[in-house]
Homo-oligomer: A and B are copies of this chain.
Amino acid sequence: MGKDKGPSFNLKTPKGTKDWSGSDALLRDRIFTTISNVFKRHGGTALDTPVFELREILAGKYGEDSKLIYDLQDQGGEICSLRYDLTVPFARWLAMNSDVRSIKRYHIAKVYRRDQPAVSKGRMREFYQCDFDIAGTFDPMVPDAEILRIVSEVFEELGWSGRYTIKLNHRKILDGVFAVCGVPEDKIRPISSAVDKLDKMPWADVRKEMVDDKGLDGEVADRIEKYVMNKGSRELLDTLLKDETLNANVTAKAGLEDMALMMDYLEAFGVLDKVSFDMSLARGLDYYTGVIYEVVTEGSAGVQADAPEAQKAQKSSKKDKSKNSEDDDRSNDPTLGVGSVAAGGRYDNLVGMFLPKAQIPCVGISFGVDRIFSITKARLEREQSIDALRSSEVDAYVMAFGGKGFSGMLKERMEICQKLWSAGVKAEFNYKLKPKLPQQFKAAEQGAIPFAVILGEEELAAGKCRIKEMGLPEGHPEKEGVEVTLDSLVSELKTRLSKKSDGAVTSLAQQLQGASV
Query: Residues of A with Cβ closer than 8 Å to B?
Result: 1-7, 9-15, 17-22, 25-26, 29, 40-54, 56-57, 70-75, 77-78, 80, 82, 92-93, 95-97, 104-105, 110, 112, 114, 126, 136, 138-139, 142-143, 145, 149, 153, 264-265, 268-270, 353-357, 391-394, 410-411, 414-415, 417-418, 421-422, 424-428, 431-433, 447
A126→B49 CA distance, assembly (Å): 10
Given known A56-B10, A72-B70, A136-B431, contact A22–B50 (CB-CB < 8 A): no
Report which residue of A25, A145, A421, A424 has the largest number of chain B beta carbons within 10 angstroms of its beta carbon: A421
Are B10 and A22 closer than 8 Å at their CB atoms? no
Closest 5 A/B residue pairs (Cβ): A138-B431, A17-B50, A268-B414, A9-B56, A20-B48
A54 contact set on B, CB distance < 8 A: 9-10, 12-14
- Tell whether A11 pairs with B45 under 8 Å between CB atoms, given A1-B353, A21-B105, A71-B72: no
| Contact status B48-A19, CB under 8 Å | yes
Q: Which B residues lie within 8 Å of A354 (CB)?
A: 7, 11
Instruction: Write the nearest CB–CB distance from A330 to chain B, whole angstroms.
Output: 21
Say yes or no: A393-B426 contact (C-beta < 8 A), given A46-B21, A50-B126.
no
In the complex formed, the residue of B with least CB distance to A269 is B418
Complex: chain B residue closest to A100, CB-CB: B21
Residue contact A149 to B40, C-beta cutoff 8 Å: no
By the criterion CB–CB under 8 Å, are A426 and B41 in contact? yes
Output the nearest chain B residue to A411 by Cβ-Cβ distance: B268
Instruction: Check A57 against B9 for contact (C-beta < 8 Å).
Output: yes
Q: How far is the CB of A266 from chain B (nearest CB, A)?
A: 9
Question: How many Å from the CB of A276 to the closest CB on chain B?
Answer: 20
On chain B, the residues within 8 Å of A26 by CB distance are 45-46
Q: Give the residues in chain B near A139, CB-CB below 8 Å.
A: 410, 431-433
Q: Which residue of B lies closest to A47 (CB)?
A: B21
**Across-interface contacts of A70 in B (CB, < 8 A):** 72-73, 75
Contact B52 A428 (CB under 8 A): no
User: Once the chains are docked, how many angstroms separate the CA of A391 from the CA of B97?
Assistant: 15
CB-based contact B142/A50 at 8 Å? no
CB–CB B10/A428 < 8 A = no
9 A-B residue pairs with CB within 8 Å = A1-B353, A11-B96, A12-B54, A13-B53, A20-B47, A21-B48, A29-B46, A44-B392, A104-B392
Asked whether A45 lies within 8 Å of B25 as measured between CB atoms, the reply is yes
Taking CB as reference atom, which chain B residue is nearest A29? B46
Which single member of B3, B72, B268, B357 contacts A418 (CB below 8 Å)?
A: B268
Q: Are B75 and A46 interface neighbours, CB within 8 A?
A: no
Question: Which residue of the partner chain B has the closest CB to A17?
Answer: B50
If A72-B72, A149-B418, A149-B421 touch, does A14 touch B93 (CB 8 Å cutoff)? no
Cβ contact within 8 Å between B1 and A41 = no
Of B13, B45, B97, B427, which is within 8 A of A392 by CB? B45
The reply to whether A80 and B14 contact each other, CB–CB distance below 8 Å, is yes
Q: Give me 8 other A-B pairs in contact (C-beta within 8 A), A19-B96, A44-B392 excluded.
A: A12-B96, A41-B426, A43-B392, A139-B432, A265-B410, A268-B418, A269-B417, A270-B418
CB distance from A393 to the nearest CB of B (A): 5
**Residues of B close to A42: CB separation below 8 A:** 421, 426-428
Q: Across the interface, which residues of B come within 8 angstroms of A12, CB to CB?
A: 54, 96
Complex Cα–Cα for A9 and B56 (A):
7
**Which residue of chain B has the shortest Cβ distance to A428 in the bound complex?**
B43
How far, in whole Å, are A338 and B428 apart by their CA atoms in the complex?
A: 33
